[in-house]
Amino acid sequence: MTNREVELLAVGAGPANLALAVALEELGTDGLAENSLVIERGHAVQWQQGLLLPWTKSQVAFAKDLVTLRNPRSEFTFLNYLRSVGRLDDFINMGSFTPYRVEVSGYLKWVSESLRKVRLQLGCDCTSIEPVRDSRGTLTGWLTRLGDGSTISSRYLVIGAGRDPYLPPVLAGLPTDRLIHSTRYRSRVTALDKDQPYRVAVIGAAQSAAEMFRAVQIDLPNADVSWVMRSIGLRAYDTNKFTNELYYPSFVDKFFEAKPEGKAQILREMHLTNYSGVETDLLQELYTGLYLDRLSGVERRRLVPMTDITGARMDGDEVVLELTDRKTSAISELRRDLVFLGTGFVREMPRLVRGLGAAIGLERIEVTRQYRLKLGEPSNAACYLQGVNEATHGIADSLLSVLGNRAAEVTQDILARRHGKRVNGVHRAAAEELTAVPLSADGALRT
């Protein structure tokens, strides 16, 4: 076994930590960027690889990339990526604010390959993280264990690996080869015989379920598909411009400072802006497809709304789902070969974070306004959590909307802690370094 030492380790090479890497390169001082490492368990940098389908689009504007809202003059903007690959004119001519998902994925890969100071290592599966203490018991850093048995020691740790996929408990007893979560759709479906008449159940009523429902008709054209959902039907995302203002980076302060009941109301009323909904154009396309199926008399796809899955078992080679109608309480059986899960992600902290919290001895996982984990004890080490702080920082926390600004805040906090002196909460040298960089169109610092 080998151990490497870095000053800052970022776990996960998704948008959050790539934005951090860009911020470190543009804002970092005293060799911080050069002594930072981003690790990724995958063997390539891809965005939403499970549903990286050629026709899927991002639901956010292209300007909400890794850096533009923080520093539109950066070389790492999405528009500069398009220019570098010769597609800027074509993209502008499309007249759309929202790029295709493959374009966003290509942009992230381009950024990862354009970093000059921060190192990126692929194929590193992080299995656990534990605190490191000196002989007096003072927490001094972190030891990250990898799947190959090696370890990485760091003073600063940033976890941006995303939430764990959610598997409904009622389905937990089924064989894993019969369950396909949306995060693994592409890899699992490409291994199937395209011509087989599979009987498929799609579970869920939001965007990922809708995308799989549409994709199956292309990837498994002979499949018989039942789309089971608890809701009365499909609903469109609420994307009006008034609610969209709550995704501004500037709204994070307002949410963080709100009373608990205020936060609860905001999250409740904003739910349909990001969860339990489907993008409007896709809804229209799905309805048109079902209408044409009925018109042609070929109905191999159907919606099963207002239905709970109250049991699941294997009967020989068949998956048997027990369905309970929420209108009548009538119980029926649905026999399938495969179950596709558009069930989203576990809402509690990811397993990796919970394991770290237990190792430190924390009763609760809480972060500061700067996304730093509250350790409950003095320490020169620090851990930051990205993308899992909706409860304290608002609904935009898991999305692209706040990436650049959040990365700057994390970087600023680390720089201040490295120097150990603060003026109005920020070390003066670090503050001067940050404000010397044009962080917005007028050159002002956005926090």
Distances (CA, A) of 42 to 5, 17, 102, 320, 353: 22, 14, 17, 34, 19
Residue 180 in tokens: 């396909």
* Superfamily for domain range 3-164+346-435: FAD/NAD(P)-binding domain (3.50.50.60)
- Per residue in 137-154, pLDDT (tens digit) is 999 999 999 999 999 999
Query: What local confidence, expressed as pLDDT, does residue 1 receive?
Result: 65
Query: In this structure, are residues 153 and 140 in contact, taking their beta carbons and an 8 Å threshold?
Result: no
pLDDT of residue 29: 76
Residue 432 pLDDT? 33
Angle (CA) 94-100-101 rounded to 5° is 170
The total number of residues written for the chain in this structure: 447
For the chain, the farthest-separated pair of C-alpha atoms sits apart, in whole angstroms, at: 76
Residues 169-237+274-341: name the CATH superfamily. Answer: FAD/NAD(P)-binding domain (3.50.50.60)
* Buried residues in 396-432 as b, exposed as e (16+ CB within 10 A): bbbbbbbbbbbbbbbbbbbbbbbeeeeeeebbebbbe
Delimit the CATH 3.50.50.60 region(s) of the chain.
3-164+346-435, 169-237+274-341
pTM of the shown model: 0.90
The ranges of the chain with pLDDT < 70 are 1, 421-447
